[in-house]
Amino acid sequence: MSPDPSFDLNLEGLRRALDLLDARKDSEGPRGGLPNVLPETGLGEAEALERLAPDVLGRAADLGASEAMAHMDPPTPWITWALALWNARLNQNLLHPATAPFARHAEACAVDWLTPFFGMNGGHMTPGSSVANLTALWAARDLRGVKTVVASSASHLSVRKAARILGLPYVEVGVDQGHRLDPAALPHDLSDACLVLTAGTTSVGAVDPLECCGRAAWTHIDAAWAGPLALSDQYRSVLSGVDQADSVAVSAHKMFFQPKESALVMFRETEAAHGAISFGGAYLAAPNIGVQGSYGAAATLLLATLLAWGREGVAARIERCMDNARRLQAFIAAHPDLECFPDGGTGVTVFRPAPDRTDAFRADLPQGLASSAIIGGDAWLRCVSANPNADMERIIAAIDKACRRTSA
């Protein structure tokens, strides 16, 4: 039987895929129209690509567009696209050292390069910070015997989810006006608790008082959003105290500009933490560490980006995002018709028209410029600085125009 060419390198097909990607903004052709049931006979790869391009490429937000500022999802550098293609071809499984000797090394290397910025001594990659938070809380429970999870009312829902999965009661603590955990509201006795502090809350980008590290049996810092600031000389101080944590979660698919799914969970005492969350299996040559079983080589994309840009290059892009946020905040603070939520200092700008007409105002803004956030029952708008290519002149002009139109 002759080999199936579907598994061969098809340069013509891949070049066409690149051409379609290149033309994505004006992707033409009929959209939708997918069969309701699995087709008995396939279209073939070339035809399937053409059929899907208008939907897959044409119906996706452009996260690197000049007015894109709505979410924590960044545009990704092209080097990661190249590595993603290699990964799909190789389909390495990092669970098995024999299939992925270099990819496993790449993960160890990326982790080794990044952990010193957080004062941690190791860790591993996860598909996101939800899983990183779960992994850290699992280690806290099984290594330190914690019996409750304590976090602020502004912490990410993944912390509550993790507590539920692990069967640990969740204790919610109040926040101050800027949405930072209020240390005075912490339970007196944290000797059998895991305290979760957030560095960059999802709604407003607030950083909890990290000096509370060490007050509980285990302190985990959820730095999904603000963690990458550790690489910037200018903004590192936002994370001051992070090195006192027992574990830290950071999403690389946020401000490290990685495609999903890419994040890290890091530990201060990695050997012990990994030991508590590892399983051996008859089919395994190395222990399976953490929540995932089989997992892919997202690490090679992160490593390639770090190698291509170096610390300075990563920091420069983060700083561009942060400068954009500062410009936006200065504009909003000076605008007589806009109200700004206290700045969390991590590039999330929350504002609304005063008096409140947020829904009409948002409808008047270009798509992808702002998302909505309900805070204390009130509707606010939220711009997140994850796009180094955001054009602040245009964004500020669009907000100003919406202000004038909706107040007229």
Ligand X SMILES: Cc1ncc(COP(=O)(O)O)c(C=O)c1O
Q: Please give the residue ranges that form the binding site for ligand X (CB under 6 A).
A: 72, 128-130, 156, 158, 198, 200-202, 222, 224-225, 251, 263
Asked if 230 and 113 touch (Cβ cutoff 8 Å), the reply is: no
Q: Which is nearer to ligand X, 75 or 97 (CB)?
A: 75
Q: Measured from the CB of residue 335, what is the shortest distance to ligand X in angstroms?
A: 27
Question: Which residue's entry shows tokens 């939220």?
Answer: 382
Q: How far is the CB of 39 from ligand X (least distance, A)?
A: 34
Angstrom distances, CA of residue 107 to CA of 79, 90, 92, 389: 17, 16, 12, 28
Q: Find the shortest distance in angstroms from Cβ 63 to ligand X.
A: 14
3-state secondary structure of 223: coil
Q: Which is nearer to ligand X, 15 or 164 (CB)?
A: 164
Length of the chain: 408
Closest approach of ligand X to the CB of residue 93, in Å: 22
Pairing status of strand 247-251 against strand 263-267: antiparallel
Q: How many helices (H) and strands (E) would you count in the chain?
A: 10, 13
Amino acid at 248: V
Least separation, in Å, of the C-beta of 128 and ligand X?
A: 3
- Taking CB atoms, the residue at the shortest distance from ligand X is 128
Distance, CA of 312 to CA of 323 (rounded, Å): 16
Q: Which is nearer to ligand X, 77 or 200 (CB)?
A: 200
Distances in Å between the alpha carbon of 6 and those of 11, 44, 130? 12, 9, 35
Q: Which is nearer to ligand X, 191 or 240 (CB)?
A: 240
- Nearer residue to ligand X within complex by CB, 128 or 366: 128
Degrees to nearest 5, angle at CA 92 with 89 and 96:
165
Smallest gap from residue 367 Cβ to ligand X (A) = 20
CB atoms under 10 Å from CB of 167, counted, come to 8
Shortest distance in whole angstroms from residue 163 CB to ligand X = 14
Nearest CB to ligand X, comparing residues 100 and 206: 206
* Residue in this structure with the two tokens 């293609």, named with its chain if needed: 85
Q: Which is nearer to ligand X, 156 or 362 (CB)?
A: 156
**CB neighbourhood size of 135 (10 A):** 28
User: Could you tell me the sign of the dihedral formed by the alpha carbons of 309, 313, 315, 320, in that order?
Assistant: negative
Nearer to ligand X, 54 or 344 (CB): 344
Q: Would you tell me how many other CB atoms lie within 10 Å of the CB of residue 117? A: 21
Which pair of structure tokens corresponds to residue 303?
């490593």
Q: Are 251 and 224 in contact (CB under 8 A)?
A: yes
Residue 44: CB minimum distance to ligand X, A: 36
